[in-house]
Amino acid sequence: MKVLPHKLIHEFLEFSAEKYPDKVALIHEDVRATYAEINAKANALAQYLVDAGIQTGDRVVMILENSLDYVVGYYGTLKTGAVIVPLSTDLKPDGLNPLLAELEPAALITSKRFDRLLKVTDQTFIRKLIKINNIDFFSGLKKSIKNSKIKIQNSALACIIYTSGSTGKPKGVMLSHANIVANVDSICQYLKLTEKDIQMVVLPFFYVMGKSLLNTHFAVGGTVVLNNKFAYPASVLQQMAEEKVTGFSGVPSTYAYLLHRSPLEKYRDKLPALRYCSQAGGHMARQIKEELPKILPEHTKIFIMYGATEAGARLTYLEPDQYHEKIDSIGKAIPNVSLNVLDKKGGTLKQGNTGELVAKGDNIFMGYWKDSEATERALDEHSYHTGDTGYQDDEGFFYVTGRKDDLIKVGGHRINPQEVEDALVATELVIEAAVLGVPDDLLGNRLVALAVSKNGEVSEQVIMAACHDRLPKYKMPESIRLIHSLPKHPSGKVNKSSCVELLMN
């Protein structure tokens, strides 16, 4: 059932600007921008892009950190009918150049912060370079409160979001206006978002989960608070208290560090407005799930969510009242999405049997940009093959058991690294861990772990001894290397490729 009137992504901004023109939509450091102000700037940018020759279907790449400029660039580009391609602010030239060659963008919107990157980047494929984070840029544009009249079909490609590439070459996920609008509608329904909601955003907008935080709250006329300094969590918590934040969202590492490297417990009574916390972005260890309710305000609900870039963000959620009873579950499908467990031949498996999780809904992506082979592997008559294995229990709740391609073969055993990582965290000596397979002539692979200890005094031997009570011998890591923090993608997800490189050095 549709609850939102929008058909196009930029209508989230336009409708709220009409309904709540003077309401603060975005807070970032000293900036407090209203819906009317943001929409006017987005309109001005859209006209500037059109005058510069940007046409419907053109790709416009954006490399910006979370800011007012990002929001203006995002919605302003979409108003032209062009395709917005937000790229990671962590890209290096050897990662950026192939993407630019693949995209052939009509424009690149960025800021002076990335001048050094651009100097060593091949700009052959870019028609126009736009830097929008200076005082003169917007003051030089024609002011306009009139929304674009360009006709755009909601089935048209709106956004290309690149996967992290942690399991290979990054793939450009093509999402239409209809895909994203459908998912935003579903998320707003199950989170019961309203114009009264104030969301703290610490995840980057170029990451699909960060993007959904922006879209959902602009869709209902809420407020987003941007804080790009999660490395200093005390400042984030202080701002959450000051701004009376109602929602906080993060990936597993976000909550691991909130639990063990932040003064969250001291702020427990200072967050009376915090209505909920939501988690997605991969599996979160059970130990963290058990500790989190003890340290959050008693009234704060926890939503465990599951999704993928290919789903425009979300596929399932676990109702907070089922949190303890179904703590290992990813919940049930969100509104307007169906999820099934299929065998290798595409047959539906009975409850309790493990197979691949396959999803269908209006939010499912159009395919991968210029990668027909990958598209054919992911999309078929059953819709989207997630690549995750799992099962459904007799009450209809889904569980993820791992990824089809993540099992590590050690001797005659196939080992799920997630299980070993959970065991390490369950010792309560480790904040987070990454378990890897190192090639071995005799066994095929040896299990090795990188781990972040809760305190600097604990030794590898002590952690190994604690693991012996939780794992059979064949699942025990051969060694554990303690490090200060695990390498991460800008989204906060653990970067397994960088972990391997770190291990080999």
What is the pTM for the complete model shown? 0.90
* Count of beta carbons in the 10 Å neighbourhood of residue 11: 24
pLDDT band at 134 (very low <50, low <70, confident <90, very high): low
Return the residue matching tokens 């080999």.
504
Residue 217: strand, helix, or coil: helix
* Count of beta carbons in the 10 Å neighbourhood of residue 391: 18
Contact 308, 378 (CB under 8 A): no
Residues β-bridged to residue 386: none
Shared domain for 260 and 194, answered yes or no, is: yes
Nearest to 190 by CA among 65, 331, 67, 56: 331
Instruction: Compare 378 and 130 and report the one with higher pLDDT.
Output: 378
Rounded Cα distance between 59 and 85, Å, is 7
Rounded Cα distance between 133 and 66, Å, is 12
CA atoms within 13 Å, Cβ hemisphere of 470: 16
Rounded Cα distance between 102 and 172, Å, is 10
**What is the chain's mean pLDDT, rounded?**
92
Residue range 449-472: average pLDDT? 88
User: Percent of the chain beyond pLDDT 70?
Assistant: 97
Q: What is the pLDDT of residues 235-281, one digit of tens each?
A: 999 999 999 999 999 999 899 999 998 999 999 999 999 999 999 98
pLDDT at 135 over 90: no
Shared domain for 330 and 213, answered yes or no, is: yes
Rounded Cα distance between 199 and 211, Å, is 12
Shared domain for 353 and 496, answered yes or no, is: no
pLDDT band at 446 (very low <50, low <70, confident <90, very high): confident
Shared domain for 427 and 338, answered yes or no, is: no
Angle between helices 286-295 and 252-260 (to 10 degrees): 50
The pLDDT of residue 165: 54
Domain boundary among 362, 392, 422: 392
Domain boundary among 332, 367, 392: 392
In a domain, 480, yes or no: yes
Q: Which two tokens stand for residue 60?
A: 């416009």
Residues β-bridged to residue 375: none
Q: Which two tokens stand for residue 423?
A: 């065991």
Angle between helices 11-19 and 35-51 (to 10 degrees): 140
In a domain, 228, yes or no: yes
Shared domain for 254 and 369, answered yes or no, is: yes
The pLDDT of residue 180: 98
CATH number at residue 490: 3.30.300.30
Residue 431: strand, helix, or coil: strand
pLDDT at 189 over 70: yes
Element (H, E) at 256: helix 252-260
Shared domain for 372 and 458, answered yes or no, is: no
Lowest-confidence region among 157-171, 282-296, 365-379: 157-171
Shared domain for 195 and 303, answered yes or no, is: yes
Shared domain for 213 and 308, answered yes or no, is: yes
The pLDDT of residue 108: 94
Element (H, E) at 403: strand 398-403
The pLDDT of residue 144: 76
Residue 387: strand, helix, or coil: strand
pLDDT band at 1 (very low <50, low <70, confident <90, very high): very low
Rounded Cα distance between 413 and 273, Å, is 49
CATH number at residue 171: 3.40.50.12780
Shared domain for 268 and 183, answered yes or no, is: yes
Residue range 477-490: average pLDDT? 90
Q: Which two tokens stand for residue 108?
A: 């690149």
Residue range 279-290: average pLDDT? 92
Beta strands in 253-372 (DSSP E): 276-279, 301-308, 313-318, 332-333, 337-342, 355-361, 367-368
Q: What is the pLDDT of residues 411-424, one digit of tens each?
A: 777 788 888 999 99
Shared domain for 425 and 388, answered yes or no, is: no
Contact 494, 483 (CB under 8 A): no
Alpha-carbon separation of residue 492 from 260, 280, 426, 446, 485 (angstroms): 16, 11, 21, 27, 12
Return the residue matching tokens 């490399």.
63
Lowest-confidence region among 46-60, 369-383, 456-470: 456-470
Q: Which two tokens stand for residue 155?
A: 């089935």
In a domain, 2, yes or no: no
pLDDT band at 282 (very low <50, low <70, confident <90, very high): confident
Q: What is the pLDDT of residues 384-443, one digit of tens each?
A: 999 999 999 999 999 998 887 777 878 777 788 888 999 999 999 999 999 998 887 777
Element (H, E) at 397: none
Q: Which two tokens stand for residue 360?
A: 């269908």
Contact 273, 198 (CB under 8 A): yes
Shared domain for 376 and 430, answered yes or no, is: no
Rounded Cα distance between 426 and 470, Å, is 9
The pLDDT of residue 350: 93
In a domain, 4, yes or no: no
Residue range 292-311: average pLDDT? 96
In a domain, 398, yes or no: no
Residue range 171-198: average pLDDT? 97
pLDDT at 502 over 50: yes
Return the residue matching tokens 């699909």.
208
Rounded Cα distance between 170 and 370, Å, is 12
Shared domain for 55 and 155, answered yes or no, is: yes
Nearest to 195 by CA among 437, 17, 49, 339: 17
In a domain, 277, yes or no: yes
In a domain, 397, yes or no: no
Contact 490, 88 (CB under 8 A): yes
Which domain does 50 fall in, by range?
A: 11-392
In a domain, 35, yes or no: yes
Residues β-bridged to residue 355: 390
29 secondary structure, DSSP code:
T
pLDDT at 169 over 70: yes
Contact 490, 433 (CB under 8 A): no
Domain boundary among 337, 360, 392: 392
Q: What is the pLDDT of residues 84-129, one digit of tens each?
A: 999 999 888 888 999 999 999 999 999 989 999 988 888 888 888 8
For the chain, what is the domain count? 2
pLDDT band at 493 (very low <50, low <70, confident <90, very high): confident
Q: What is the pLDDT of residues 342-380, one digit of tens each?
A: 999 889 999 999 999 999 999 999 999 999 999 999 999
